[in-house]
Chain A
């Protein structure tokens, strides 16, 4: 069964520090997609990134970067020079498909609450 583990329940950092949010996943499939979403205190869910299991290149978007390591089944997310606006709950998610697309479950981790202290 697919599973996503975000072992860090809560993290607090001081503004301008770098922080890494961990995500470890389990799947039987060789092809799958991984996602990160952000949920700020206002409650909406905001997409951050989608990554194919065959693409192990790291990705950088501004202060955000993602490190995908298939060998360790991890898809970690780093925020560089954190800001107060980064305070949110961050979710990692896994999408699998089987049976020619007839099965399309999405599994989320339990989330990591990040607090950035001014």
Chain B
């Protein structure tokens, strides 16, 4: 089954404790992206990746890191989480079609709470 998986689904942590949210897709998609969803703000892009070893900042990259060492995986790293990073996080992947992102397939989301 074609899917995007994220782990963990729920995470409660404390300020400053490094964490990683994993994202994996089995569709051989070139494009992967992380978003955060906050009430009244919609989805905001954190980072995206066009392919292996190619990443770029979205609109809200501060406090986050990513890596793309393999095509299927795109982990999101919070080196020193702060309470303002409490949010619902979505990973997504898509093919590149006509030079643009195609339909994005989203993971189920990770609800992160930073105390």
Contacts and interface: CB of A to CB of B under 8 A. Distances in A.
Given A33-B101, A91-B42, A106 B33 contact: yes
B50 A108 contact: no
Nearest to A47: B103
Contact of A43 (B43, B104, B109): B109
Interface in B70-113: 88, 90, 92, 96, 98-106, 108-109
Contacts of A105: 45, 48, 58-59
Contacts, number: 70
Nearest to B51: A101
Contact of B108 (A44, A52, A96): A44
Contacts of A111: 42-43
Given A106-B33, A106-B48, A107-B59, A95 B103 contact: no
Interface residues of A, number: 30
Contact of B90 (A45, A50, A101): A45
Contacts of B88: 43
A108 B42 contact: yes
Contact of A104 (B41, B50, B105): B50
Query: What DSSP secondary structure best describes chain B's contact surface?
Result: strand
Interface string A21-39: 0000000000111010100
Contacts of A52: 98
A44 B5 CA distance: 12
28 contacts: A6-B42, A9-B40, A37-B104, A43-B88, A43-B109, A44-B106, A44-B108, A45-B90, A47-B103, A47-B104, A50-B102, A50-B103, A52-B98, A95-B100, A96-B100, A97-B101, A100-B99, A104-B31, A104-B48, A105-B58, A105-B59, A106-B33, A106-B48, A107-B59, A108-B35, A108-B43, A108-B45, A109-B42
In the A-B complex, list the 4 residue pairs whose CB atoms are closest, starting with the nearest. A110-B42, A45-B106, A108-B43, A47-B103
